[in-house]
Chains A and B, each alone.
Chain A
Amino acid sequence: MTLVVADAAAVYTLRVADDCLVLSHRLAQWSSLAPTLEDDIALTNIALDLLGQARAMYARTAELDGTGRSEDDYVFLRDEREFVNCLLVEQENGDFAMTIVRQLLCSTFHLAQWQALERSTDEQVAAIAAKAVKESTYHRDHATDWTMRLGDGTDESHQRMETALATLCPYTTELFETDDVNRDVVARRIAPDPAILGLEWEAYIDKVLSAATLQRPEGTWTPTGGRRGLHTEPFGYMVAEMQHLHRSHPGQTW
């Protein structure tokens, strides 16, 4: 399917939807594998919230881009290069520390973004955000609690958290980049300025990491490209698995 999008607002809502979808799929991969039953349930509950947020944003995208595509069309019938999620959400689950660090970095970003989107001039987006704010607050609390426990825990857990931060922090620069799409939706007050979100995000992350006896590593490289459809290697495998059933049995429903 070729992606034909005229309105920057549709590109923006598609980015938000793809971020939610891909993170949801990654978290769902923990189902039956998490270290405790409580966290198996927590991670899959968070995945379900994110899937709901993604569905609402795909529905809004279909209205804005005028294609009338269904949620399934966006999720199952686009190729890897047509997804415009950030690189951070597609990174593999790794160990539990890696997943928790990814959750802390992502949920802090999501919460700040949804809070700003509550004031969007796009009323439908504002309504979706009003629901999502409450859910993202739980997600950030969950990641914050675990970051404290693992960072200020045993030598082993602390070291794993440091490794996860070193691996994932480089991918966070991309979250706050600005391009023509952002400039357009910021000017129309549909979406917040990424630079301002970045300041809020840094303040919270650094406060939590400090309390957890951890710190954000100094960045040396800043991978980017997700918003233009250029993804990291693990993503292709994820998309193949996610789309396999739908591609093998076109039109299949539950």
Chain B
Amino acid sequence: MTGVEEIRHIVGGIPDPELPALTIEDLGILRDVRVDAAGAIVVDITPTYSGCPALEVIREDVERSIRERGYPDVTVRVVLSPAWTTDWLTDAGRRKLLEYGIAPPRARSADLQLLELGVACPTCGSAHTGEVAHFGATQCQAVRTCSDCRETFPHFKEH
């Protein structure tokens, strides 16, 4: 592994503070890792939501993990454009969400009709679920219930 690949591997493995089962790579928050002309490490991260309180923690975690690896010169840039979307969640990220008890976001693409498809219950797999509240425990989650197993569960909403 080259230096950058090694750093990318380390940074990519940092857990999200609010969803520690997932890494910042799984969530699509980590956008780029590179070395600039002066030899400093530059990391680009993007916020999921404008006011996401996890972003400051992620920034500190990224800086610390790289410094601990022996690279003192680190810059973490917060990049707003292009705006983050749930389409950037990796397949591994979607699987981990489901294992964590959170229904993953449906694929969005340009076809909004897809959003009319049901959200499967992470407990019993039934598609007979309905939204209870559009706002949940974090900015990225909604709350749904399953009409078959009656479980209430979080849904990582499409964004």
Contact = CB atoms under 8 A, between A and B. Distances in A.
Given A42-B135, A48-B49, A132-B50, 12 more contacts: A49-B51, A52-B50, A55-B51, A123-B81, A124-B80, A128-B50, A131-B47, A131-B80, A135-B49, A138-B135, A141-B134, A142-B134
Interface string B116-159: 00000000000000001111110100010000000000000001
B9 to A, nearest CB: 28
- Residue in A41, A51, A53, A128 with the greatest tally of chain B CB atoms within 10 Å: A41
Secondary structure class of chain A's binding surface, majority of residues: helix
A45 B80 CA distance: 20
Contacts of B134: 42, 138, 141-142
A50 B52 CA distance: 11
Contact of A52 (B52, B81, B159): B52
Contacts of A141: 134
B86 to A, nearest CB: 10
Interface of B: 47, 49-53, 80-84, 132-137, 139, 143, 159
Q: How large is the interface on A (under 10, 10 to 19, 20 to 34, 35 or more residues)?
A: 20 to 34
Contact of A49 (B49, B82, B83, B132): B49
Nearest to A145: B134
Secondary structure class of chain B's binding surface, majority of residues: loop
Contacts of B137: 41
Contact of A38 (B49, B83, B132, B139): B132
B80 A130 contact: yes
A127 B83 contact: yes
Contacts of A53: 50-51
A56 interface: yes
A49 B48 CA distance: 11
- Residue in B52, B133, B143 with the greatest tally of chain A CB atoms within 10 Å: B133
A237 B8 CA distance: 49
A46 interface: yes
A126 to B, nearest CB: 7
Nearest to A59: B78
Contacts of A48: 49, 51, 53, 139
Interface in A141-168: 141-142
A49 B52 CA distance: 8
22 contacts: A38-B143, A41-B133, A41-B136, A45-B139, A46-B135, A48-B49, A49-B139, A51-B51, A52-B49, A56-B50, A128-B50, A128-B80, A130-B83, A131-B80, A131-B83, A134-B83, A134-B159, A135-B49, A135-B50, A141-B134, A142-B134, A142-B135
Contacts of A135: 49-50
Contacts of B47: 52, 131
Nearest to B48: A131
Interface in A21-65: 38, 41-42, 45-46, 48-53, 55-56
